Amino acid sequence: MAVYEYRALDRAGKSVKGVVDAFDTEAVKKKLKVKGIYLESIREVQTSKRSSFLSLSFTRKRTVTARITRQLSFLLGANMPVISALDGAIDSIEDSAAKSMMIDIKEKVKEGKSVSSAFADYPNYFNQMYISTLHAGEVSGKLETVFERLAYMYEKNQAFSNKIKSSLTYPSLMLVLGVIIILFLVSFIVPTFSRLFSEFGQTLPLPTRILIGISSFITTSWWAILIAISLCYFIGRRMYRTGRWKRGMDGFVLKLPGVKRIILDTFNIRFSYTMSLMLKNGVPIIDALRQTGGIFKNSVFRTHIENATAKVKKGESLSRALGGGGLFNSSLLGMIRAGEAGDRVPEVLNRIGTGMETELEERIKTAVSLLEPIVIIIVGFFVGFAVLSIMLPIFQINQFFG
C-alpha cells in the first residue's frame, strides 16, 4: 500500500490538502469521493520524502507525539484492535508529516512487526524511553495502559513547559522592545542630531560623545558585528559538541547562582516522572535507568545516571546509587529509600515529581517577579542615557543662543 499527498476541493468548494494511504490513485479518488472531496492533484510520497518530513522543530515533534499517544490511548482503551486504533489516529492527524509517519507505522504492524518495533523506526518522534515502555506494555499485554501513562506524562511535561514559557513571556518582550528602541535611537535619531550638533562647532558633553561613538560604530560596522556574532556562535557550538568543552560548559551552568536550583529541580522532576513511568510498566530498573539517562542532554546528568546504573548492576539500592554529586538532595533520596523499603518506588517517584513541580512553579514565579523590574530598570537606564545624551547638547545650544 502506497502513501499519497493530494490537493482537492470539498463540497463547499474550499481547497483542502492531506495525505492518504491506498493501493493506487484510483483507490484514492474513490476513498475521497465518499467523503465529498474531489481531487485536483495527487502524487505518491516516496520513502525518502517521508524521511525529510521529520525535519520539524523539537517542540512541534513533542506536540505531535503527545497528540498521537493520547489518541491511541483513547482508542485502545475503547477495546479497539491495534490496526483500527492506528487508523483512527491517522484520520485525526492534520499534519502531513505525522500522517505519513503513522500510515507507515500501520503498514509495518500489518506486515507483522510489533508496535514498539514499528514506532522505533521514527526515533525523532519516539525516543528510546518511549519504545522501551511500549515494549514492556506489549510483553505484559497492557498496551492501552502504557499509552495512557505515556500520554499523561507527555501532557504533564508540555503543561509544565508552557507555564515556564508564559512566565518568561513578559520579561522577554520587555527586553526585546528595549533593544529595538535603543537600536532605533542609536542608528537613526543620534546620527541626525550628530550632524546638527557638529554645525555649531561646540564641544559636546561626554555622554553625547560616547553615544555618537557607539552610533557611528554600529552604523558603519554592523556587517562586521553580524559576522563576529555568527562566527562566535558557530565556533562556540562546534566546541560545545566536543567532549571536554561540553562537560565544562554543562558543569559551569550548574554553578550559576539562581539558575542552578531551577535546572536541578527540572532534572529531578523529569527523572522522577520518567523512572516512575517505566518502572510502573514493568521495565527492569537497569534498562529504566539507562533509557532515562538518554533523555538528558547535559553531560553531567548523563554521567551521574550512568554511574548510578553501574552501581545498581553491582547490587546497590537505587537511593544509594543516586547519592553523591549533589544532583539529588537528601530528602529526595530519603523518600526513594522509603519507597524501596515498602516496594513502592514507582509511586514514590511520581509523588516526588508532582511535589517538586509545584515547588518549582512557585520558585519560577518568584524569580520572574524579581526579573521584571530588573529588566525594566536595565532598559530604562539605556533609554534614559540615550535621551539624556541627546537633550544635553540641546540645552547647551539654547544657552548659547540665550
Q: Residue 81: which CATH number? A: 1.20.81.30
Total tally of structural domains belonging to the chain: 3
Question: In the listed set 92, 121, 155, which residue is the last one of a domain according to the structure?
Answer: 155
**Which H, E and C letters describe the chain, residue by residue?**
CEEEEEEEECCCCCEEEEEEEECCHHHHHHHHHHCCCEEEEEEECCHHHHHHCCCCCHHHHHHHHHHHHHHHHHHHHCCCCHHHHHHHHHHHCCCHHHHHHHHHHHHHHHCCCCHHHHHHCCCCCCCHHHHHHHHHHHHHCCHHHHHHHHHHHHHHHHHHHHHHHHHHHHHHHHHHHHHHHHHHHHHHHHHHHHHHHHCCCCCCCHHHHHHHHHHHHHHHHHHHHHHHHHHHHHHHHHHHHCHHHHHHHHHHHCCCCCHHHHHHHHHHHHHHHHHHHHHHCCCCHHHHHHHHHCCCCCHHHHHHHHHHHHHHHCCCCHHHHHCCCCCCCHHHHHHHHHHHHCCCHHHHHHHHHHHHHHHHHHHHHHHHHHHHHHHHHHHHHHHHHHHHHHHHHHHHHHHHHC
Assess whether pLDDT exceeds 60 at residue 9. Answer: yes
Can you tell me the mean pLDDT for 101-115? 87
Question: In the listed set 124, 155, 186, which residue is the last one of a domain according to the structure?
Answer: 155
Least confident residue range of 120-124, 200-204, 236-240, 350-354: 200-204
In this structure, the answer to whether residues 186 and 305 fall within a common structural domain is: yes
Assess whether pLDDT exceeds 90 at residue 242. Answer: no
In this structure, the answer to whether residues 116 and 139 fall within a common structural domain is: yes
Look up the domain containing 68 and give its range: 58-155
**Residue 165 domain flag:** no
In this structure, the answer to whether residues 123 and 14 fall within a common structural domain is: no
**Residue 53 domain flag:** no
Q: The C-alpha cell of 378 is what? A: 536595565
| C-beta atoms surrounding 34 within 10 Å | 8
Nearest to 288 by CA among 351, 352, 354, 346: 346
pTM above 0.75, yes or no: no
In this structure, the answer to whether residues 319 and 362 fall within a common structural domain is: yes
Q: The C-alpha cell of 393 is what? A: 547638547
In this structure, the answer to whether residues 189 and 73 fall within a common structural domain is: no
Q: In the prediction, which pLDDT does 43 show? A: 65
**Residue 51 domain flag:** no
**Residue 19 domain flag:** yes
In this structure, the answer to whether residues 257 and 368 fall within a common structural domain is: yes
Can you tell me the mean pLDDT for 391-396? 76
176-223 pLDDT per residue, tens: 887 788 778 777 777 777 677 666 666 677 887 887 788 778 778 878
In this structure, the answer to whether residues 394 and 273 fall within a common structural domain is: yes
88, 73 Cβ separation under 8 angstroms: no
What is the chain's Cα-based Rg?
Answer: 29
**Residue 287 domain flag:** yes
In this structure, the answer to whether residues 374 and 250 fall within a common structural domain is: yes
In this structure, the answer to whether residues 225 and 367 fall within a common structural domain is: yes
Q: In the prediction, which pLDDT does 338 show? A: 92
pLDDT mean across residues, the chain: 80
In this structure, the answer to whether residues 136 and 245 fall within a common structural domain is: no
Q: The C-alpha cell of 51 is what? A: 524521511
**Residue 298 domain flag:** yes
Q: In angstroms, rounded to a whole number, what is the distance separating the alpha carbons of residues 402 and 384?
A: 26
Strand partners, 17: 7
Q: In the prediction, which pLDDT does 2 show? A: 59
Greater confidence, 42 or 254? 254
Residue 23's pLDDT band, with cuts at 50, 70 and 90, is low
Under 8 Å CB-to-CB from 38, ≥6 apart: which residues? Answer: 8, 9, 10, 32
Residue 3's pLDDT band, with cuts at 50, 70 and 90, is low
In this structure, the answer to whether residues 11 and 38 fall within a common structural domain is: yes
In this structure, the answer to whether residues 216 and 149 fall within a common structural domain is: no
